[in-house]
Structure 1
Amino acid sequence: MQTTQDDAAGYTAGAKIFHWLTALLMTGSFLLAVIMVELPLGPLKIDLYNWHKTVGLTILALAVLRLAWRLRHPPPPMPANMATWERLAAHAAHLGLYLFLFSQPLVGLVMSWASGFPTILFGSFILPNPIGTDQALFDTLSAVHFWSAWVLLTLIALHAGAALRHHFIKKDTVLRRMLPQARR
């Protein structure tokens, strides 16, 4: 397939760093969540919960920086041969991913505050709790955080699947534009 100039344009180095660092941290956060919920209550479980919170708030900070970066560095145009439905689906998926990059850590943080357990970041900094223990709020946000994680995993799978479809089936440059070696 012949590529156009628009097809060949890659993402900026900053966008790639934010993308892959977020992907790495999201993977770590999900792995911590899967492991920590199965452990009996004890020091290891509490440590893993606090590292999960640290990673989550780091993702939130990166999402803020990432959005600021994106507002100043627009993404390259989509390939000219993309169908309208593909463009709409891509925009909807990216909007959903950004929504969850912000909402999931915030819901988790408020849930943590409502639990009554202290939030210890990076193993040493105790985050102040402005709301105190609230079991009903904790229960509600716990369910929201759990189900939102599954929605987020679904969006991530669709995002990755679409990138792979573009690479292996459509044989365009959509995936290569975000890979570290592709330059802009």
Structure 2
Amino acid sequence: MTRPATPSTRYTGFAIFMHWLVALAIFCIVPLGAYMHDLPLSPTKLQLYSYHKSLGICILLLVIIRLLWRYGHKPPALPASMSAKEQMIAHAMSHGMYLLLITSPLTGWLMSSFFGKPVVVFGLFQVPDLVAPSEDMGKLFATLHMLSNFTLATMITLHILASLKHHFKDKDDVLARMLPFLARNR
């Protein structure tokens, strides 16, 4: 039996909120991107692309806010039960996911800019194009966007599996410290 996650071993409420808000956005944008990609050109496809781009810009902004918050608020230490290797992997995965959570929307924004397709956030405002149009660069950034998304999806899957392993096998508080409704482990 493990000890309850205490406030000093838990993330702050704001960090937990931001984590799950970004997770929700990711769980919306990934299936949306996969679904819309192979649709025939239609008003529906264009609307779905618009939603996808809007969510991407929102994710980029949320991740930047989360990183700024994290810069001033040290996360709780990993449990002492984790080996040095496990802690190194956890830190590498965290940094890698943050990098990809910035890279994926940026490559999408650059791709849209290179293709000369505006990014209008939920019909409210248009973000500026980052570069001049270039079909060849648009194709390159389409590939980079796809690769970063597949890599991010893989890392998120590993992140979820590792969290479940910690909760059910290791019975430590790694998962409890990020769940808003789980005050303690089993």
* TM norm. shorter chain > 0.5: yes
Match of 1:110 in 2: 110
Q: Residue 120 of structure 2: SS of its match in structure 1? A: strand
Amino acid aligned to 2:168 = F
Q: Residue 46 of structure 1: SS of its match in structure 2? A: helix
Check the 8 A contact 2:25/2:59 in 1, yes or no.
Answer: yes
User: Per-residue displacement from partner, 1:98-121 (whole Å, max 9, x unpaired)?
Assistant: 101111111110100111222221
Match of 2:179 in 1: 179
Match of 2:88 in 1: 88
Q: CA separation in 2, counterparts of 1:164 and 1:170?
A: 9
C-alpha deviation, 1:129, in angstroms: 2.4
Between 44-53 and 129-138, report the one with greater CA deviation: 129-138
Runs of 4+ in 1 over 6 A off after TM superposition: 4-8
C-alpha deviation, 1:7, in angstroms: 9.8
Match of 2:33 in 1: 33
Check the 8 A contact 1:8/1:173 in 2, yes or no.
Answer: no
Amino acid aligned to 1:160 = I
- Per the alignment, do residues 80 and 6 of structure 1 end up closer, same or farther by CA in structure 2, a change over 3 Å counting? farther
C-alpha deviation, 1:181, in angstroms: 2.2
C-alpha deviation, 1:28, in angstroms: 0.8
TM-score normalised over the length of structure 1: 0.93
Match of 1:53 in 2: 53
Q: CA separation in 2, counterparts of 1:75 and 1:63?
A: 15
Match of 2:11 in 1: 11
Q: CA separation in 2, counterparts of 1:60 and 1:37?
A: 21
Structure 2: runs of 5+ lacking an equivalent: none
Check the 8 A contact 1:166/1:173 in 2, yes or no.
Answer: yes
Percent identical = 40
Check the 8 A contact 1:60/1:105 in 2, yes or no.
Answer: yes
Q: Over the residues paired in the alignment, what is the CA RMSD in angstroms?
A: 1.8
- Per the alignment, do residues 8 and 131 of structure 1 end up closer, same or farther by CA in structure 2, a change over 3 Å counting? closer
- Per the alignment, do residues 130 and 66 of structure 1 end up closer, same or farther by CA in structure 2, a change over 3 Å counting? closer
C-alpha deviation, 1:34, in angstroms: 1.1
Q: CA separation in 1, counterparts of 2:24 and 2:135?
A: 32
Structure 1: runs of 5+ lacking an equivalent: none
- Per the alignment, do residues 102 and 130 of structure 1 end up closer, same or farther by CA in structure 2, a change over 3 Å counting? closer
Amino acid aligned to 1:85 = K
C-alpha deviation, 1:126, in angstroms: 2.7
Match of 1:149 in 2: 149
- Per the alignment, do residues 167 and 130 of structure 1 end up closer, same or farther by CA in structure 2, a change over 3 Å counting? closer
Q: CA separation in 1, counterparts of 2:133 and 2:98?
A: 29
TM-score normalised over the length of structure 2: 0.92
Q: Residue 176 of structure 1: SS of its match in structure 2? A: coil
Task: Name the count of aligned residue pairs.
Answer: 183
